Amino acid sequence: MTASPATDAAARLFASLIGHGVRDVVLSPGSRSQALALAATHFARQGSLRVHVRIDERVAGFTALGIAREQRVPVAVVCTSGTAVANLLPATMEAFHAGVPLLLLTADRPPELRGVGANQATVQPGLFAPFARLSIDAPVPGDDGDFDWTALGERAVAVALGAETAPSEEVVIRPTAAPIVGVAGPVHLNLPSREPLSAALSSSAIAMPGPVPAAAPMTPLTVQHGPRTLVLAGADAGPDAEAVAHAGGWPLVAEIVSGARFGRDLVHGYRGLLRDDALGGRVQRVIVFGHPTLSREATALLRRTDIEIIAVRSGGEALDLNGRTTPVASVVVAEGEPDRAWLGSWRAASAAASVDLTDPAPDAEGLLSTDPAVRREAVATELAAVRRPLDRTLLADAVWRATWPHDRLVFGSSRLVRAADAVLPGKKVPVHANRGLAGIDGTIATAMGIAIASQTGGPAGTTRVLLGDLTFLHDVGALLLPPDEREPRLQVIVGNDRGGTIFDSLEVATQAPVEDLDRAFYTPHTVGFEHLARAYGWEYQRVTTRAVLDQVLTAPAGGRQLIEVPLER
């Protein structure tokens, strides 16, 4: 049997990762990474690791991001050297800004083949420098002496979860973006190797699954009652925002992507109320959870220098739009009497601003009338409701109403998420969105990862992703699923207005020549979504009315569904 130091090192590294809580790895095929891939599949056969294979490294990165988003546990992503590594950058950037733990295991050429024009060799060490909590250029197996691969795996997991990074004698550490204790993020392990690049692993090579390391203890900030306070929940805020608002008796402004849009203190129609001098103008303190990105009104509030702003840190960058925001790890509310008049004024304004999208009940009396004219009018009204065409608001409402706590809802960075944010009511639903950088990259792949993670031995929920046509087309490669992997229950709902109409709201729509605007921004297309669905093995539905959409969304889901909803420009 041929010996391979690369295989031995890969086995020890993966055994360590598995022993410290890693359960999933997403890998893309490649030559230089073969030892890593074979070690992963070896442990997968033993049942200690789940392996997901994606041919496109960008898709692989976002699939890993989705799994880690849902589980809040580090997920490893493996790729070969060269441009393959660069394709992990978009997911790495999102993971950094959103505080998601990722382990980037990138195979590389040995030092003697770097910088000399060798095939598939480039500058990989430090490639993710601004976005990695830790970057390590490991020694070449065979030259590693007493290098501790087990310690490397343990440290990588701990740092990805937010442990403090400090130099040690065991590993070569290349500090990158200033790591913050308590904030998760990406860790980059660059792993060079020489031939022989792999060898068969002995059946005696086993990994014992272990628990995920406990999070570092953090001291919360105790917030007193007193100032007129507003709780603002952005992307990834989660239920903590609602809990603090409830404890303090403060109004809660929660973006639709926050996972905090529920509870009796929730503010409806918040954009207009933040512009109101009698409400938004009287705010003295804002407690921020997550990353608010969906409204200019919230951004304007966070830029004010005349109010106190406390931001609970969740991503790689501290939120500080006004230059004097206080970052904290968490907050607790002190005992005290809430300002009932302050909360009451917001509740009254919220009730007046709420939008009721429910269709009126059928005119039962008219439908049963013996007067033909009355009956015809009642029937015509009912048919009009059933045949009512879908717009963005009704589409978002239908998806929201079909989704429940055992489901998952993913929003793409499209015009639809802003329509949803403006009108949807409160509901305790697990929501995800890549709003760390609010790019359209990897939305389907992220949703696929979330579906895989949420349905692994868990409840029989459905993951739904609501996105626009350009966001869909940007990630169409993520529709590909290997035939030997279990199909998750995933509904991809595409609002297709045949181009980037989100630019309608920007300055360019009023300044650019029509032909330039159409070609360079709207980018119209004539893609046949049905053909794409069939090519990738997805079930396809084209829906034009609310009644049919409700039926499609709530029918028993058995796998991957692509639901196209044509929308007017």
Say if residue 379 is exposed, middle or buried (CB neighbours under 10 Å; 0-12, 13-18, 19+).
middle
The first and second tokens of residue 427, run together, are 């509901």
pLDDT value of residue 67: 98
Q: Is the pLDDT confidence value at 108 over 70?
A: yes
378: pLDDT confidence band, cut at 50, 70 and 90? Answer: low
132 shares its domain with 103? yes
Q: Please enumerate in sequence order all residues whose Cβ is within 8 A of that of 299, keeping only pairs 6 or more positions apart, or say none.
A: 292, 321
Nearest-angstrom CA–CA distance, 275 and 16: 53
pLDDT value of residue 176: 41
Strands (E), 54-139: 75-79, 102-108, 134-137
406 shares its domain with 524? yes
Q: Is the pLDDT confidence value at 377 over 80?
A: no
254: pLDDT confidence band, cut at 50, 70 and 90? Answer: very high
404 shares its domain with 505? yes
In angstroms, what CA-CA distances link 142 with 11, 113, 146, 196? 14, 16, 10, 11
182 shares its domain with 44? yes
164: pLDDT confidence band, cut at 50, 70 and 90? Answer: low
The boundaries of the domain holding residue 360 are 356-382
pLDDT value of residue 177: 43
pLDDT digits (tens, 9 = 90+) for 54-65: 999 999 999 999
Calculate what percentage of the chain has a pLDDT beyond 70: 91
| 334 part of a folded domain | yes
324 shares its domain with 465? no
DSSP3 helix / strand / coil % (the chain, rounded to 5): 35, 15, 45
* Higher per-residue confidence, 38 vs 511: 38
309 shares its domain with 375? no
Of 5-9, 202-206, 216-220, 365-369, the one with minimum mean pLDDT is 365-369
pLDDT value of residue 26: 98
324 shares its domain with 182? no
232 shares its domain with 146? no
Q: How many angstroms from the chain centroid is the CA of residue 84?
A: 22
Average pLDDT, rounded, for the chain: 90
| 520 part of a folded domain | yes
| 534 part of a folded domain | yes
131 shares its domain with 260? no
pLDDT digits (tens, 9 = 90+) for 268-321: 999 999 999 999 999 999 999 999 999 999 999 999 999 999 999 889 888 999
In angstroms, what CA-CA distances link 483 with 52, 53, 478, 480, 559? 11, 10, 14, 9, 13
Which CATH number covers residue 332? 3.40.50.1220
Of 50-64, 226-240, 314-328, the one with minimum mean pLDDT is 314-328
pLDDT value of residue 411: 98
Summarize the confidence of residues 333-356 as an average pLDDT. 93
Q: Is the pLDDT confidence value at 172 over 60?
A: no
Closest CA to 94 of 420, 431, 433: 433
Which CATH number covers residue 478? 3.40.50.970
The total domain count for the chain is 4
| Rg (the chain; Cα; Å) | 26
Summarize the confidence of residues 159-168 as an average pLDDT. 70
Question: Taking phi first (over 0 means left), then psi (-120 to 50 degrees means alpha), and beta for anything else, what does residue 357 get?
Answer: alpha
The first and second tokens of residue 538, run together, are 């997805």
Q: Is the pLDDT confidence value at 246 over 80?
A: yes
231 shares its domain with 297? yes
| 13 part of a folded domain | yes
Say if residue 323 is exposed, middle or buried (CB neighbours under 10 Å; 0-12, 13-18, 19+).
exposed
Calculate what percentage of the chain has a pLDDT beyond 90: 74
pLDDT digits (tens, 9 = 90+) for 431-474: 999 999 999 999 999 999 999 999 998 667 999 999 999 999 99
| 500 part of a folded domain | yes
pLDDT value of residue 2: 62
Using DSSP bridges, classify how beta strands 331-333 and 24-27 pair: parallel, antiparallel or unpaired. Answer: unpaired
Q: Is the pLDDT confidence value at 100 over 60?
A: yes
171 shares its domain with 226? no
Nearest-angstrom CA–CA distance, 211 and 22: 8
* Higher per-residue confidence, 522 vs 425: 425
pLDDT value of residue 459: 67
| 105 part of a folded domain | yes
501 shares its domain with 363? no
The first and second tokens of residue 84, run together, are 């393959």
| 300 part of a folded domain | yes
| 199 part of a folded domain | no
